[in-house]
Structures are given as structure tokens and as C-alpha cells.
Structure 1
Amino acid sequence: MTREEWKELIQSKIVFLDGATGTNLQKQGMPVGVCPEKWILENPEKMIGLQREFIRAGSDILYAPTFTANRIKLEEYGLEKDISVMNRALIKLSKTAIREEQKQGLERKIYVAGDITMTGEQLYPIGKLQFEELVDVYKEQISYMLLEGVDLFIIETMMSLQECRAAVLAVKETCDLPVMVTLTFNDDMRTLFGTDPQTAVVVLENMGADAVGLNCSTGPDKMLPVVEIMRKYSSIPIIAKPNAGLPHLENNVTVFDMEPDRFAEEVKKLAEAGASIVGGCCGATPEHIKEVVKVVRDMKIPTVRENTLRALTTERRTLEIEMDGKFLVVGERINPTGKKALQEELRNDTFEIVNKMAEEQVENGADILDVNVGMNGIDEKEVMLKVIYELMNSSEVPLCIDSSYVEIIEAALRIYPGRALINSISLEKEKFEKLIPIAKKYGAMFILLPLSDKGLPKDLEEKKEIINIILERALELGLTKESIIVDGLVNTVGANKKAALETLETIRYCKQDLGLATICGLSNISFGLPERSFVNATFLALAIREGLTMAIANPSQNLLMNTAFATDLLLNKEEADVRYIKRVSENPTNFVSEKKSIASGEKKGSSPVEEAVIKGERKQILKLVKETLDCGKAPGEIINTMLIPAINKVGDLFEKQIYFLPQLISSAETMKTAIDYLEPMLHNGEDEKKLGTVVMATVAGDIHDIGKNLVVLMLKNYGFEVIDLGKDVPSKKVVDTAKEVDADIIGLSALMTTTMMEMKNVVEMAHNEGIRAKIIIGGAVITENFAEEIGADGYSKDAQDAVKLVKRLMQLVD
């Protein structure tokens, strides 16, 4: 069955399935307790006759009698070696029934669906059956049915959403035929494993199911509320295949209490509620199907949603993401960076802290949990899967899979039993080409990060261009806008005064012009500023006003969280008042005011050149330097007695948190302007001796260089020769350059947990090459503990500390 045939079928009419197989064959003598498939093959005329009756009743699709013909079920009867022969023969029976009817003048097209169901074995971590084993079990059965030309597949009578996922993947990885999925729901409108109708729809539709619905367990009257919910959430056809009422015993024979005419009237209600593919399950005879066709066939095809739902899920519940709804928080704490206790647990395969972090973040208001296990000394893929399994059972909120390794993201998505969020997909070649198809395959949402192989976008227009390129490609591959959340890409306002405005415009553009949800990490906006929490909270309020959908943050920060709830309140979002009152009542914000004396930085008798550097007066510095030269001061004297003492003072103020990143950058740039002017004069008359040679680089895979650039600037200002290799630098190039120039120091920077391991590669390569240079590391995600772990010679927390570290390692007088 081609995709075009499927589309034509579901758009042209209400589609009719067949009725029951088991209960009808039992009426014809099939004993209870036998292998149904074996009995059918021993009595083929019974099956062929039944299916011919269903065709005459009006069925468009026949379920081939392969229901439990998988390896695990057949093993119960000692028939596992016959799996190929049995599946192929069972498909042939349905094909034979169609041919026999064609001989009698049948002209309409009848399709054969290969029937797949649960194996009866419990999946890990509840049972012992591994997810991949189950996929292989289904693939094996599917492959044999394909040999006989099956038209499509039905995965039916499912109670586990995870097993549905395994079966859908098995079909998708084996062929391109349509696949329908139906689950069985209890009276509480949940499956045995606790999945509700909307969660089943969201997960299976986004994984590529062509129709989804429910079958068995109840009559059509009890199915009505489930169908109504599914229609609300689904943009694909809804299937309803109910039992013929409730079963009861008559003369020791099970019978169902709903006659064909009443059954048909109840199925009509299901069609009115949104089911466009209907049939019958246990107790439904050809007469039941005939009446359904008679009553329903002229009905208008139910409409479905025009777009998919913007939502994430666990296995049991759905988190709707509304553009103008409740602001959402992605908890960021499950990340080993800087957390020694968590690192130790992950190395020892214990997850008490992981579970505690998950619980605390959810209690504090996290709607989604980001999971990142990137660290030294572990198999990241193996640990990621173990953490996912832990959180599958302990967490009530959806997960955000955070890794820069494509294979780790795919492995996590494969076993995750709901709909997860990928953090993240950029225009970097590896992610752009591989991760978008992976998001489509597993039905995941993803964070669109507007970066490219060139690095950070140079301006707002380039950022928008990257967003549109990734969006266009995602749409080409069948993803929808509702699957994408754009990262506003927050830069630090201390380094770029327009950073906040550019991010706010990105948020507005994505929501208003493109119809895309947005996300951002907040802390970067305030890096290097005093009282950062106020900057973060204020920026958050502005961003929510522009339409920010969610943020990655620590939900234990009350000021931030309470600001988010207050902003929702002021924007009159639904039930925001109740949420705000509950939030602040349980989590009051306590402000502690700690006044700091902001020193002018001027020492008594300091020169105008020193004052200009301390104040960051870049526009004035050359004028002042020239005036000082005119007064008879030598270039070297200006550097040694004015510029260097000034930058030392700035460093002291920075360490005391009296000065922050903007002042540090401004002062360093001012000093650089002066040094650049004076340096040629030194070579003309004064022999300036460099303190040492430093090779600096941002490691391979990392395109962030703000911190590295500042270190380069500071080291140059202090008289070091610095060879700046830039960002995303291969490890071999770093080591080769250090060898070539006989460097005293190799400085490495990384901003992401996913690239920090490149530092270890440089350390090992340098040691193997016999490089004498000391290796120092730094960056937002780097810690002193990590430096010790990988064998680096030192760690610096910032640019000023890097200067001190280099001097200490080179045994220079500070």
C-alpha cells in the first residue's frame, strides 16, 4: 500500500475494519488454550470463510490472523522455529479470502494489515526484556509478513506505550508501509501502564503512526470519552474498534450483550465524536460490521486538528506548551559540572542524588528536567541511559536530553517512553544533518540553537537567517513548527550592551512572525555584573512580556521563579493569580541587602593615564599617553609605572566584586589601546623583553570565545607574547603550535560540558609529545577539580586569575 493510496483511502470515506477473530473462531470450534495461529493453519477454511464474510459486510481492511505469531509467544507452544512459515501462511489466508471474493465479482480494493500485539514479557526496568530485544522481536515478525505482500500494519490491543513505541520503530525501520496503533484503556481512561489518551496520541502521532485509537476491553458506549479526547489532540485519523458490549456466560459459552443494530448506533456516536476508522473487536460478528457500514457509511468524515499539539510527555502524562500560556521552567541541575558528589555517584552507578535533584526541582516548580551527564571518567552513553531509566520511573515531568554527541541523544530518545526535548540542534554540520532526522524519527521536540560552524551570529539578521534555515529543513523532513523551540541565544550584556535587546527581538520575531515557541538560558545575560539575580529576574520579566515560552534555570532561585509567576499574573494568563499566590506563599523571597563601597579606583597622586585605565576611558587614553610622552616620560616607564599598576588595581577591584565584567573589559581594552600605541616605540629604542609565550585556544567543537579573548588581552597587557589560535581549534593544532614556538604555557577554554573533554585530549597529546609547556584551563563549565582529573597544571576562574596563574607557573614575581 503506497502512501498515496493510504491518503486517498482515509480522505475519501470513513474506513471500515473487520470484526473479531478469536470469538468468531471459537464459535466454529477453536478450543480455548490452543495456539490460535496453529489452529487457524490447521483449519484454513474457517479463517478464509470468516474473512470473506467480513469483506461482504463492507470491511475495507482485514486483520491478518498473525496476532500473537511473534517469537516470544510462539515459544510458549514450542513453535518458535516455525515463525517464518506461520506468518507467511497466515498472510496468505487473508490474501486468499480477497481473491475468492474477487472471483465472485468484488471490485473494490481490500487491504491486508499485518497484526502485531504485545509479547507478554515485561520491559526493563520493570522486567528483564530489553527495549532493543523487543524491537528485534517485532522486526522479525514484520519481515516475514512483508515477504507475502502485506499492505499495512496494525499494532493492537496494547497496554504499554513503550511497547507501542518499540513496534512502531520496528515497522519504520523495516519498511515504509502505513502503521496504525490501538491501545486498550480501562474505565479510568488509562492503560494498564497508566498512559492517558492524549499522551498516547502525542507520542505515537509524532513518531509517525498513521492512525491511532483504541480497541477491545469495552463496548462502544464506554469508548466515547476516550475518542473525544483523542480527537482533541490528534491531527491523524482516530480508530475505534470496540467489543460488542459486555461479555457474559450463557450455557457456559461467552456471549456479548450488544446486538448488531444497537452496536451500529453506538459506533455511529464514535464516528460523530471523531473516529474515522471503525470496526469491531471481541464479539463483533460480520452482522455487526454490516450494520455499522449501513449506519455510518454516508456520514461526513470527522475533521481532525490542522496542526500537531505542541507538547512534551512522560509515559503517563502530557505537558502542553502554549504560546500564551503558563511560563515553563526547564530545571538545569542534573549536570555533574562542578558537583563532586554527583560526579562520584555517576562513576559508581548510584543515582540517589539524581533522583533527589529531580524531586527537588519538580517541587520547586520545574516543568521539564534537563539531563546532562557529560563528565570525565565515564561512558557517557551508558550513564545517560541509566539515568533515563531512573527518571522514567521516579520523575513526573518530561525530560530534556542534553548532550553534544549525536549517538548519545539518539540512544536516550530511543528508550525514552514519552516525547522528549532535544537540547539542542544548531546549524553546525554534525547536528544539522543528523539530529533533525533523529528528531523526526523519535517524534521529539528540539531546541533550535541559532549557531553555525562560523560561530555566534555576527548580528541579529544572521541569527534570524540561521533560524529560518533550520526551520525550513525541519519542515522539509516532516516536522512541524510545533516541534521547535528557538533558543534566544542570550549573550552577556556586560560585553555587548545590545545583548538583551537583540534577544528580546529574537523572541518577538519567533513568536509573532514565525509562530515558534522560545527558550533561553538566563544566567549568561548577567555574567560579570553585581547582584546578578536582579538582572536575571528583570530580563526574564521583559522576555516573558515579549513571548518567551520557557527558560532553562535553577528552580530553587526564588527571586527568579517568583518573578516568572508574577509576570504571568500581570499578563493575565489563565489561573496565573492562583498560581502566583500559591507560589509566593510557599516560597517567599528574602532580600538581603549588602552594600558595597564602590571605590573610585584612584590612588592619591595617581597619574591621568592610570585613572583613564581604571575608569576605562578608551577614547581619552591616547591623548593622555601623548601628553605624558611630551612631558619626557619614556614608553617603557609609562607601561611599567602607570599602565601595569592600573590594570593590577582593576584586577583587585574585580576580585573583590567591586568591579565586574563590563569594567574589566573596558579597562583592558583601554590598556590595549595604549600598549598598541607605545609598542613600536619600544622596538625603536628600548628592547622590550616578553615575559613568556602563551598559546591560547578554545577547544575543538566549542565556538565560544569571549572568556578566551579577555584572557588573551590581559596576558598581552602584562607583557606576554600570546599566540591566539581562535575557537574550535583541533587538539593537534594546539600541540603542534606549542612545539613550534616552544611555548611556556598552553591556555585552553571551553564553555560547554560537551566540549570540555577535548581539554583532556590536549593534555594527553602534549604529554605524549614531550611538550614542556604548562597547561592551564578555564571556562564557564570548568572547575579546579576537573583540572586535577585531567592532569592540567592549573585552573583559573577568570582573566585576572589567569594572569596570576601564568606568572605563578612561570615563577615570575607578581
Structure 2
Amino acid sequence: MSTPPTPQSLRQALRERVVVADGGMGTMLQDRNPTMEDFEGHEGCNEILNVTRPDIVRSVHQAYFDAGVDCVETNTFGANLGNLGEYGITERIFELAEAGARLAREVADACSTPDRPRWVIGSVGPGTKLPTLGHVSFAELRDAYQRNAEGLIAGGAQAILVETCQDLLQAKAALIGAKRAIAAAGTDTVLIGQVTIEQNGAMLMGSEIGAALTALEPLDLDLIGLNCATGPAEMSEHLRYLARHARIGLSCMPNAGLPVLTADGAHYPLTPEELADAHDTFTREFGLNLVGGCCGTTPAHLKAVVDRVRGREPAERDPRPEAGASSLYQHVPFRQDTSYLAIGERSNANGSKAFREAMLEQRWDDCVRIAREQARDGAHMIDLCVDYVGRDGVADMKELAFRLATAATLPIVLDSTEIPVLEAGLEMLGGRAVVNSVSLEDGTGPGSKMARLMPVVREHGAAVVVMCIDERGQARTAEWKVDVAARTIEELTGTWGMRVEDIIVDTLTFTIGTGQEESRRDALETIEAIRELKRRYPGVQTTLGLSNVSFGLNPAARIVLNSVFLHECAEAGLDSAIVHASKILPMNRIPDEQREVALDLVYDRRRDGYDPLIRFMELFEGVDTAAMKAGRAAELAALPLWERLKRRIVDGELENLNADLDEALTQKPALAIVNEVLLDGMKTVGELFGSGQMQLPFVLQS
């Protein structure tokens, strides 16, 4: 009698050797010529055959096991809300999934021996409903996928494969549903996610492979990979990206090439030998753990793959994960190579009057416009806060997160004090969001906010912002800030399984513009806290709600103080800032005295007869932002032509540039102007950039 394998044996095999799965299912079933009666009138619903024609389904599994594969996928690709909904039989999700897994399990057990176990992978297809487009709610889709996974587990599947994912939010719903089913069953079921990249290099919704990895890997998958849409040739570069960056195992199940239309229908041209060649290369170069085939692949294809790669030890990889967040479209790393990570602050009902009024009047397009303007201003992420007294925060968050999910290309920081509001946002975003914030404000015990919030954060794979607040209040000294941050980091990594690089600590700053003695050192204490925190936890991220430091000063003074303070924090190790990026100046554009007095204010350098706060306020008395701009324009206009042109390059100043160039062209040829003046300006830009006085956004302006 054969010895049935255990789920652990599949997990162990994936670690130790390349495991080979089967190929296409649908075409194999159609070759058996099922009748309309076999489909119970539901033409094309292959999952019905699990009940009406188990002999046909078993024969397909047997053909693949005879070819030598290690595991087969269940005939359950369409046993989901979208597909079965088209036939009006969604109540049969569990039944058809369980039947499909049971059939595959029976054949696998019959083919297994003590030294050659065979396994069953439960297939979970995408369905036809895309939550990012509003076809169905996240919760309804997640719960339906959970029933699907429960049926597969009950039938004996040792792995759940969420495959052919076209919408990251759909993939997350399926994977979270599967995780809930696995937890409820108490099994050690392997969880795999495979996305489908079209010929244009992105998923159907426009997601690049980096966005997919960033969004899905934190859901605690065992493997991530690609299947369907294309042949292996078109998958190569996407697999290369996964091999370089994924912490987890990799899988690949390509079609038998790109289909060719013939008089007899679609033909897949890739030969068995060519599929074997591809997997030979992929396993050696990219360290794949699981290989197989998708549309158009047959037992002959998989026999060639088995003969070539089965039993091969997975090639060793040295992945370089890049901690970050993602929108539906793109990955954004938390560490910017040449700049701080700018988190746009204007999509905040408490901090932006324009955004708040648009939200209150339900001018949603204006809210989206404000968010998108921040991207043009240089933001890398968008802070979204809808909290406002008297409003239904859940409804507002659903409305705006749904719109921003597709209208904004930047990742979202969900900012709220209310857990239901944060959860509503997470259920709208296919990318990886950041949740702002967690703290030790009421401890970590049962009933604390952290104990209630973190299960939601972890289930959705979000990163978090940590506020330096504990039971005593908001930390003011560097020692207090670091102590709170350290305790919170240890709680998040130890109890909740967060990676330290996915934790963003806001060391908090308060205004230094009031003159009150207790606030004089707040900026300095914040800088020192950042420096010490980065020393203790080099992998942790840091951020600041930057504009708090200048609260109470006039707008012109705030721009200068915020810019100087940001520069000093960045020098101490600050990674990101919640900021209005267009209102930050590079150090070279701030007049010397303003910069020096701002530094004295930040570092509390008072002395007899000199108070930097008083002097700073004197410098900006009667000065507004328009006056600052006019002053700079007048200063430029007073310079000689060639010096003026160079300064325009250095400052990234477009206004009146054309007029200056027209004048210059009357004196020198265009090439001479470029070589002698404009390139000289760019040389200065390079020197400022190299010395840290100018960040990348300003270089790009230049």
C-alpha cells in the first residue's frame, strides 16, 4: 500500500530540489470531448466535471504523473466567485473545490511510493471580477476565496496556488482568503502566488513586477512567480528581477509560447524540448524551486522538463531585498539613493484647507488633483488623511483610496487614528501601503490599540509608521524618543513578525517658534534621536512631520526653517519626511544670514544679547513668500547676462529664461552658450549635489 505524503514533505522538497508540476488542464479536458450533459448545461464550466465526470479529470492527472511530474494542480481554476457567478452557482464553490482536490489526491496517493511522494496543488484562478475597478468589494471577494481554499484543503491539497493574477488587489484578496482558510484548518499548507505579465511588460492593470513583489511578498507567501500570458522567452527579465530581490522561493509556469492563430484555432508553438531548455536555464540562473507549464503545455512537454531538471538542487541566490511601498503600478524604495523620501502632506483633511473643503463638498476629482500635483512637485508617496469631526471616515476613505488606487502612481500612506478607517483604505489599495501610525500610547496588552491594529496591518502586509509616544505622552528628549522607538521596534518585530526595515520611526518634532523654554531644544533633541536610532538600528527607516518645527512663524520664515531643519536631519540619517516638497529650498538658495540664524535656532545657540528666534523673526518681518520670490527675481535681474544665465541653471529658474537666451544669442552662437555658460552652471550643480547642499529634485529642475 502506498504511503500518503504529508504537507511537510512538499515544503521540504521545495527547499531541497526543483519540484516539477504539471501543465495545461483545460485543453486536456476538452480533448476528452465532454458532453453538454457532462457540464450539467453549464457549457465550458470545467469544474462541474469534478462531480459529473471524475474519470475524465483523473485521467488528466494520471497522464501527468505518468510523465514523471512531482505534483498536479487541481481542476479548480474557475471554482471562484467570478467564474461560477456567471453560471449562477456560486453556492457550489466549496463543493467543486473539495471534489477537485479529492480527485487529484486519490490519483497522487495511488502514484506515490515511500521514496517518491506525489503532491496536490490547489489551483485558485483570478475569476472575472477586478476589485480595483469596483467590480466587487474586497471583503466579498476575500470571503469567497476563503471558501474556495477551505474546499481545496478539505479535499487534500498540500499547497494553494493563487495564479494568473491580473489585479494586485484581487491577488491580495485571494491570498488573504487562503491564509484565513489555512489558519482555520490548522494545516501547514504551502502558499504560492503567481502573477501574469502581459507582452507589454506589465500586469493587466499596469503593475510592474516590482510592484507585484512589494505588494504580495509581505503576505507571508512561500513562493512567488509567473504564469500564463506568454512563453518563457518573455518571462526572463521579470524572473531575473524576482531572483535579485525576492526573499522567498520562486516558481514559473509559462505557456507553450505565444499562441498562433490557425484555421483550426489557436496553436502554441513551443516544443517540449524548448520548454525544457527554458526551465534548464531558469533553474540554473534564477534559482527556481517550482516549475511547470500553463496553456498549451502537455504531458510530453512536462516529461521533457522532468528529464532535464527534476531533482536538481535549486541554484543558490543572493537576493538584495529593497524595502519599500508600492502603488498599483510601481515600487518605491524607502531609501532614496540621492535624496530623502518625500511624503506629500497636502492630501490631509487636517493640514490642507483646499483638500478638506474639496472632501467636505465631495469634489472628489479636486481631491485627486491635489494628490497628483504632489507627484509633480517631487513627492515619492502620498499621505492620505480623511479624519474630520462629524464625517464618516470609513466612507470618505473608501471613496478616496478607491480613486487614488488607479489615479495616482505613487504609494499611499494611510493616516488615521481610527482602525476601521485604516482597514477601509487597505481594502481599496492593490499596492503596498504604509499605515500611520502605531505607538505605545496605551501599552501593548489585550485591548490596546496596537493589539487591535497590528492584526489588520499584518494581514494586509503593510509597512508602519511608529510614533514616539508612550504612556507618558509624546517623547521630548532624545533619550526618551529612542527608548520609546526601541521598545516599539522590539514589540513589532518580536510579537508581530515585522521586519525592521518595514518600520518607519517618526521621532516627532515640535515647534521651536514659540519662545517657550521647554520647546527650545525640541529640534536638537529630534536630530540627536535620529542619529542614535540609526546607530542602534541601521535597517530601520526614519521620518518626520517636518512642518511642525516651524508652526507659528510666517510662511516665508517657515520655508527657510523647514529647509534648514530637513537638511540637518538628513545629515543625521533621516530617510523620509512628510512635507510639501515644492516648498523646500536647497541650501545654496537660502541667503547666508537666514541659513546661519536658522541653524542657531535649530541648535539653540543662544548667547548674551543674541536670541536666534528673535533675530530670525526680524529677518522675516513683513516678508511673505511672494516678496521672497520677487526679491530673488530682482537679484537675478541685477546680475550680468552670463552670470544670470548660469544662476538660472543652478537655481532651476525658468521664469524669464527665454528672454535671457534671446539676448545671449545676439552675442554668441548657441553652441558657445551651451559649452561656456550652461555647462558651467551644471558643473556647479554637480558640486552642490556632491556636497549634499542640493537634493536630486533640484538637480532635475536644473
Q: TM-score over 0.5 for the alignment?
A: yes
1:507 deviates by 1.8
Using a 3 Å threshold, how does the CA distance of structure 1 residues 581 and 373 change in structure 2: closer, same or farther? closer
Which AA in structure 2 matches 1:19? G
Q: Is the 8 A contact 1:419 1:443 kept in 2?
A: yes
CA distance in 1, matches of 2:162, 2:138: 16
**Which residue identity lines up with residue 352 of structure 1 in the other structure?**
D
Give, in whole Å, the separation in 2 of the partners of 1:5 and 1:413.
35
Q: C-alpha distance in 2, partners of 1:332/1:495?
A: 27
Counterpart in the other structure of 2:645: none
The equivalent of 2:423 in structure 1 is 410
Q: What letter corresponds to residue 502 of structure 1 in structure 2?
A: E
2:549 pairs with 1:525: yes
Q: Contact 1:533 / 1:560 at 8 angstroms: preserved in 2?
A: no
User: Measured at CA, do residues 31 and 273 of structure 1 come closer, stay the same or move farther in structure 2, by a change above 3 Å?
Assistant: farther
Distance 2:308 2:380 in 1: 46
- Is 1:437 matched up with 2:445? no
- Greater CA deviation, 485-494 or 3-12? 3-12
Matches within 5 A, 1:130-529: 130-176=137-183, 177-248=189-260, 252=264, 254-274=266-286, 275-304=288-317, 308-322=321-335, 324-337=337-350, 342-429=355-442, 430-457=448-475, 459-476=477-494, 477-493=496-512, 495-515=518-538, 516-527=540-551
Letter of the 2:549 counterpart: I
Q: Distance in 2 between matches of 1:115 and 1:399?
A: 31
Shift of 1:100: 2.1
Deviation of 1:396 after TM superposition, in Å, equals: 1.6
Letter in 2 for 1:463: K
Offset, 1:30:
4.3
Deviation string, structure 1 residues 408-463 (Cα, Å, up to 9, x no partner): 11221122111111111111233332333332221111111121021123633332
Question: Aligned residues, how many?
Answer: 582
Trace 1:93-112 onto structure 2 (pairs within 5 A).
Answer: 93-102=103-112, 105=113, 107-112=115-120
- Residue 12 of structure 1 is aligned with which of 9, 12, 16? 16
1:79 CA drift (Å): 3.9
Q: Secondary structure at the match of 1:173?
A: helix
> Aligned partners of 1:422, 1:351: CA distance in 2, in Å?
22
Which has the larger displacement, 30-39 or 327-336? 30-39
SS of 2:474's equivalent? coil
Q: Deviations over 1:106-149 (max 9, x none)?
A: 6433222221112213436x344222221222122223233323
Match of 1:25 in 2: 29
Question: How far, CA to CA, are the matches of 1:7 and 1:509 in structure 2?
Answer: 41
**Distance in 2, Cα, partners of 1:189 & 1:479:** 31
Rg (Cα) greater in structure: 1
- The 8 Å contact of residues 325 and 573 in structure 1, kept in 2 or not, is answered as no
Report how far residue 236 of structure 1 moved. 1.0
Q: Kindly provide the amino acid, as one letter, of the partner of residue 285 in structure 1.
A: T
Note closer, same or farther for the CA distance 1:156–1:562 as it changes in structure 2 (3 Å cut): farther
CA distance in 2, matches of 1:500, 1:251: 74
- Contact preservation (8 Å) 1:208, 1:441: no
CA distance in 1, matches of 2:71, 2:427: 30
- How far is 1:583 from its partner? 4.8
Matches within 5 A, 1:501-650: 501-515=524-538, 516-527=540-551, 531-559=557-585, 579=696, 582-585=699-702
Equivalents in 2 of 1:154, 1:575: separation in Å? 48
Q: Deviations over 1:455-481 (max 9, x none)?
A: 123633332222222112222222212
Higher relative contact order (CA 8 A, sep 6+): 2
| Cα distance change, pair 35–567 in 1 and its aligned pair in 2 (3 A) | farther
Q: Give the letter for the 2:63 counterpart.
A: E
Q: 1:396 to 1:150 in 2, by over 3 A?
A: same
SS of residue in 2 equivalent to 1:239: strand
Give the CA deviation at 1:45.
Answer: 2.2
The one-letter amino acid of 2:577's match is A
Whether the 8 Å contact between 2:381 and 2:411 is mirrored in structure 1 is yes
- Bigger Cα displacement from structure 2, 331-340 vs 540-549: 331-340
Q: Which amino acid aligns with 1:474?
A: L
How far does residue 40 in structure 1 lie from its aligned partner after superposition? Answer: 4.7
The structure-2 alpha-carbon separation of the partners of 1:348 and 1:287, relative to structure 1 and needing over 3 Å to count, comes to: same
Question: In 1, Cα distance between the equivalents of 2:523 and 2:220?
Answer: 39
Q: SS where residue 548 of structure 1 aligns? A: coil
- Conserved 8 A contact 1:562-1:583: no
Give the structure 1 partner of residue 610 of structure 2.
none
Mean Cα deviation higher: 466-475 or 427-436 = 427-436
Q: Aligned equivalents of 1:319 and 1:573: distance in 2?
A: 23
| Per-residue deviation, 1:364 | 1.2
- Relative to the length of structure 1, the TM-score reads 0.66
Residue type matched to 2:278 in 1? E
Tell me, in whole angstroms, the C-alpha distance in 1 between the residues paired with 2:698 and 2:350.
34
- Give the distance between the partners of 2:584 and 2:387, measured in 1 at CA: 27
CA deviation after TM superposition for structure 1 residue 250, in Å: 6.5
CA shift digits 1:297-330 (9 cap, x unpaired): 3544134455643111111111122265431211
Q: Tell which deviates more after alignment, 469-478 or 236-245.
A: 469-478
Q: SS of 1:336's equivalent?
A: coil
Deviation, structure 1 residue 159: 1.2
**Residues 749-795 of structure 1: CA distance to partner in whole angstroms, max 9, x if unpaired?**
xxxxxxxxxxxxxxxxxxxxxxxxxxxxxxxxxxxxxxxxxxxxxxx
Alpha-carbon deviations, 1:542-563, whole Å to 9, x = none? 1111221111112231427987
Judged with a 3 Å threshold, the aligned counterparts in structure 2 of structure 1 residues 187 and 459 are, in CA distance, closer, same or farther, namely same
One-letter code of the match for 2:574?
A: L
The one-letter amino acid paired with 2:198 is: N
Q: Is 1:118 paired with 2:126? A: yes
- Verify: 1:129 aligned to 2:129, yes or no: no
Tell me the distance in 2 between the aligned counterparts of 1:199 and 1:86: 33
1:347·1:377 contact (CA, 8 Å) conserved in 2? no
Percentage of pairs with the same residue = 28
Cα 1:225–1:75 change in 2 (3 A) is same
How far has the Cα of 1:358 moved from its partner? 1.0
Instruction: Tell me the distance in 1 between the aligned counterparts of 2:144 and 2:23.
Output: 26
Structure 1 contact 323–517 (Cα < 8 Å) conserved: no
Q: 1:584 to 1:217 in 2, by over 3 A?
A: closer
What is the Cα deviation at residue 235 of structure 1? 0.9
Which letter maps to 2:502? S
In the superposition, relative to structure 1, how do residues 31 and 190 fare at CA in structure 2: closer, same or farther (>3 Å)? Answer: farther
CA–CA separation in structure 1 for the residues paired with 2:124 and 2:478? 51
